[in-house]
Chain A
Amino acid sequence: MVRTDVQLMLDVKSGDEASFALLLHRYRTPLVNFLYRMVRNREQAEDLAQEVFLRVYRARADYVPSAKFTTWLFRIATNLALNSIRDNRYQKLEDSIDSPARIDSEDGDDRPLDVAEQHPNIEQHLVEDVRVKMIRHAIDKLPEKQRAAVLLHKYEELDYAEIAKILNCSESALKSLLFRAYEALRVELAPLVAHQVRQ
């Protein structure tokens, strides 16, 4: 029989390390993807996901199953991601204005623009990925809280009550947040949306 998240966490609390490994296996991919879509840097997303699991492990002794495990897990992840985004923004403000022009690389890491580095088939590569890049760019442009709401709603398929708890807002405020986010995405992705609607 498959043990629930709460049962696994209670087993971790009573000293069962294997249950922690099961939770890690169950949530490492959704967590890394959520954080990657939040911070747009793979290495940083993995570091943050590791921090989330470490915090879960540290809190095992005091764990009380008062809410769904995923609510608790993604609340930690969201707070870490929002803090990281703010820290990065502060860091960028401190960057010298003499630094070279930068573009977003494939996996979201900022790197200097270097023409000699361009791959011969980059044009083809860009054409293939143009849709994905546009979608990523549209998500990146969302305010952090709207971005978190969309990611939790769309990819983690959490219900409204859970997402509202994670983002520390009411359900009606969350619905409004999601509506504004989808409106912004609709406008930002207008050419793709129009093409989709016509099909």
Chain B
Amino acid sequence: MRCEKMESRFLGYLDGRLKESERLEVEKHLANCSPCRLRVNEFRAVSGLLDELPVIEPSEAFNARVHALVVAEPVKQSWWAWLHFSPRIALVASMLLIAALWMGYERPVGPPPMDMAQADAQMMQDLPVLEDHDVLTNFEPLKELPPPVQQTDDDSDSQQHM
């Protein structure tokens, strides 16, 4: 295999991240190619040099600063969260519901109920009116009257031209 194609596998080879088949191909190539063998050794040396950089520790105040930033964050809650976690609100809401049900029970919609004696008295009081209505609807002379004349558009036009 050509060196250019092998180069892209050198780091993976050094990391041990190649597939078994790829690793064997690289090793086969390195056995026959001294420039690539040198390059792999140089990359290994670079990797070793990078290990020499010292590790620094965060300052002692680092955690405290992060904690201060986190504490200063505004608390975000959803619309339902405050209702869910507030027993006081839940108590007020349930009391309002009970009050609404009680008022609905005490003040029913519609006229107040009457007892039977009151209903009979009311009917007797309205009886003359009902009798008058019955006489008028069956009065024969009124039935013989011609129907009322309705004014048409033609009539109104002819009247305007006159």
Please list the residues of chain A having a beta carbon within 8 angstroms of any beta carbon in chain B. 17, 20-21, 24-25, 28-29, 32-33, 36-37, 42, 46, 49-50, 53-54, 57-58, 61, 131-132, 135-136, 139, 150, 153-155, 159-160, 175-176, 178-179, 182, 185-186, 189, 192-193, 196-197
Which residue of B11, B46, B55 contacts A193 across the interface (Cβ within 8 Å)? B46
Q: Are B70 and A54 in contact (CB under 8 A)?
A: yes
Q: Are B69 and A179 in contact (CB under 8 A)?
A: no
Which residue of B7, B49, B54 contacts A196 across the interface (Cβ within 8 Å)? B49
Q: Are A24 and B46 in contact (CB under 8 A)?
A: no
Q: Number of A-B pairs whose CB atoms are under 8 Å? A: 98
Of A25, A37, A50, A58, chain B has the most CB atoms within 10 Å of the CB of A50
Which residue of B49, B59, B70 contacts A189 across the interface (Cβ within 8 Å)? B49
Q: Are B55 and A197 in contact (CB under 8 A)?
A: no
Which residue of B47, B48, B56, B73 contacts A42 across the interface (Cβ within 8 Å)? B56
Cα–Cα distance between A155 and B41 once the two chains are bound (Å): 20
Q: Quick one: given A186-B42, A186-B43, are A53 and B56 in contact (CB under 8 Å)?
A: no
The reply to whether the CB of B45 lies closer than 8 angstroms to some CB of chain A is yes
Number of interface residues of B (CB under 8 A): 32
Q: Are B50 and A150 in contact (CB under 8 A)?
A: yes
By a CB distance below 8 angstroms, the chain B residues around A53 are 66, 69-70
Q: Are B70 and A49 in contact (CB under 8 A)?
A: no
Of A153, A182, A185, chain B has the most CB atoms within 10 Å of the CB of A182
Q: Quick one: given A132-B54, A197-B38, A197-B41, are A54 and B62 in contact (CB under 8 Å)?
A: no
By a CB distance below 8 angstroms, the chain B residues around A61 are 76
Cα–Cα distance between A20 and B70 once the two chains are bound (Å): 10
Q: Are B11 and A175 in contact (CB under 8 A)?
A: yes
Q: Quick one: given A36-B56, A132-B52, are A46 and B46 in contact (CB under 8 Å)?
A: no
The reply to whether the CB of B65 lies closer than 8 angstroms to some CB of chain A is yes
23 pairs of residues in contact across A and B, judged by CB atoms under 8 Å: A21-B63, A24-B63, A24-B66, A29-B55, A36-B56, A46-B59, A50-B65, A132-B52, A132-B54, A135-B49, A136-B53, A139-B50, A150-B50, A154-B50, A160-B12, A175-B8, A179-B7, A179-B8, A182-B10, A185-B50, A192-B49, A193-B45, A193-B46
The reply to whether the CB of B157 lies closer than 8 angstroms to some CB of chain A is no
Q: Quick one: given A58-B73, A175-B11, are A33 and B55 in contact (CB under 8 Å)?
A: yes
Residues 3 to 24 of chain B near chain A (Cβ within 8 Å): 7-8, 10-12, 17
Q: Mark B70-85, 1 if CB is under 8 A from A, else 0.
A: 1001001000000000
Q: 8 shortest A-B CB distances, which residue pairs? A: A196-B45, A193-B45, A32-B58, A54-B69, A185-B46, A53-B66, A197-B41, A186-B42
**Which secondary structure characterizes the binding site on chain B?**
helix
> Closest approach, in angstroms, between the C-beta of B131 and any C-beta of chain A?
80
By a CB distance below 8 angstroms, the chain A residues around B59 are 46
Q: Are B69 and A28 in contact (CB under 8 A)?
A: no
The reply to whether the CB of B126 lies closer than 8 angstroms to some CB of chain A is no
> Closest approach, in angstroms, between the C-beta of A178 and any C-beta of chain B?
6
The reply to whether the CB of B154 lies closer than 8 angstroms to some CB of chain A is no
